[in-house]
Amino acid sequence: RKAAANDLFYKFVREELSNDIRNRFVKDFNRNYNNIHVPDYSKFPLFSRIYLHFKGQELRLTEVQKAGIGRQTTKGVGLLAHEVGFGKTLSGILSMHEAMERGNAKRPIIVVPNDSILKQWVETIFETIPNAKVNVLGNLGKDFDLSKFDNKDGEITIVTYEGFNNIGFSSEITEELSSKFSYISTSEMKGVTNTERDLQIELQKEKEIEGKMKRGKIYDWEDFGFDHLTYDEVHNANHIVGKVKIEDRRFASDFRSQNQQTSKLGINTWMAAQYIQDKNDG
């Protein structure tokens, strides 16, 4: 009945209405029911206090930076994909700072590739945020002394990829998150598993995922209470799914590494993001 009604309605619009009425009707209908409004995030008000000068000059954010920070603030999650040299580091720091000022984050963590980039981030934080308190944990090696470390609300913590990988989860949290992670493996099995033996192999991979989550853990994530994650060069953590099935071989060339292995960095990043969302209402 619905299909027949739609056909009759389209016939009425095409054949019974004059051109003027039809055009007015289509315009009004689309404006009221099919309208998609893309907000100008660069106009979004920011309330956090920052220094007026940056690197010896007046701090003036570009429209791209304003839009990026505004979108991150309204959505609570996002990707800053500016071109090289467009100030992604500054945008990321100000997005995090705005979340803290609005009460959306109390104990943020920043993850960066290495010590050299870590230094750049720390310098930028102190050059933009008044009275910033930063915990520089670096690589968090086995000899790192955290006996006197007391992470407090309002403090920013920064680690390298290596340090991030040294932060793990308790057995209970690991099992809970790894069970959620299995939806990826399950979807893979539907497409590539043909025999019982293949099924058992795929199920064993889920156990390996849980093992990777635990392997190399030195510190427990729960002990730090992080509730906001800023990740530099996040494409380095995209190896989460180990196998990609291409249904149409015409597009196979679009995937350079269809048999890539899951990486510990990728899995840990996924876990951290899931944990933060789960503990902070998404």
User: Which pTM does this prediction carry?
Assistant: 0.71
pLDDT band at 193 (very low <50, low <70, confident <90, very high): very low
When the pLDDT of each residue in the chain is averaged and rounded to a whole number, the result is 79
Q: Which residues contact 112 (CB under 8 A, 6 or more apart)?
A: 118, 121, 158, 159, 160, 161, 232, 233
pLDDT digits (tens, 9 = 90+) for 80-134: 988 788 899 999 999 999 999 999 999 999 999 999 999 999 999 999 999 999 9
**Amino acid at site 169:** F
State the residue for tokens 């979807």. 187
Mean pLDDT of 54-79: 92
Nearest 5°: CA angle at 173, between 169 and 174? 70
Give the integer Cα–Cα distance in Å for 175 and 128.
40
Domain range summary for the chain, segments of one domain joined by +: 2-33, 41-167, 170-216+238-279
DSSP 3-state of 251: helix
pLDDT band at 253 (very low <50, low <70, confident <90, very high): very low
Q: Which of 34-38, 203-207, 221-225, 248-252 has the highest mean pLDDT?
A: 221-225
pLDDT digits (tens, 9 = 90+) for 127-185: 999 999 999 999 887 677 776 777 899 999 999 999 998 887 777 777 777 666 655 45
Write down the pLDDT at residue 120.
96
Report DSSP state, residue 34: S
pLDDT band at 256 (very low <50, low <70, confident <90, very high): very low
Mean pLDDT of 38-52: 87
Write down the pLDDT at residue 182.
57
Write down the pLDDT at residue 261.
61
pLDDT band at 73 (very low <50, low <70, confident <90, very high): very high
pLDDT band at 187 (very low <50, low <70, confident <90, very high): very low
Mean pLDDT of 216-220: 62
Q: Which residues contact 152 (CB under 8 A, 6 or more apart)?
A: 107, 133
Nearest 5°: CA angle at 74, between 69 and 78? 60
Per-residue pLDDT at 201 exceeds 70: no
CATH architecture, domain defined by 41-167: 3-Layer(aba) Sandwich (3.40)
- Tell me, rounded to whole angstroms, the distance of Cα 261 from its chain centroid: 21
Write down the pLDDT at residue 145.
72
For residue 268, give the nearest of 215, 203, 206, 225 by alpha carbon: 215
Mean pLDDT of 20-34: 87
